Amino acid sequence: MANHKSALKRIRRNEAVRLRNRYQHKTVRNAIKKLRTEEDKKAAEALLPTVVGMIDKLAKKNIIHTNKAANLKSKLMSKVAAM
């Protein structure tokens, strides 16, 4: 167990950040699934910018790697374009 006040605070902070990151990552994964299962091209095109923005935010905060974000965006855009 930690002996310093700052170390105890860091443990609390790390847990809060971990939970926030998990929530944001799961939310983006659900949005990606929703976009992939979308049948209507208009609805998919309307949903695409919000999902891309969410992916960019995760990459900016280092929750996911930038290359993973680029791959996800590329695949989603090509799927919407092919509809």
In this prediction the pTM is: 0.82
Total domain count, the chain: 1
CATH number at residue 68: 1.20.58.110
- pLDDT at site 80: 92
Domain that holds residue 40: 5-81
- Contact 56/66 with Cβ under 8 angstroms? no
Map tokens 């994964």 to a residue: 29
DSSP three-state, residue 34: helix
pLDDT tens string 23-69: 999 999 999 999 999 888 999 999 999 999 999 999 999 999 999 99
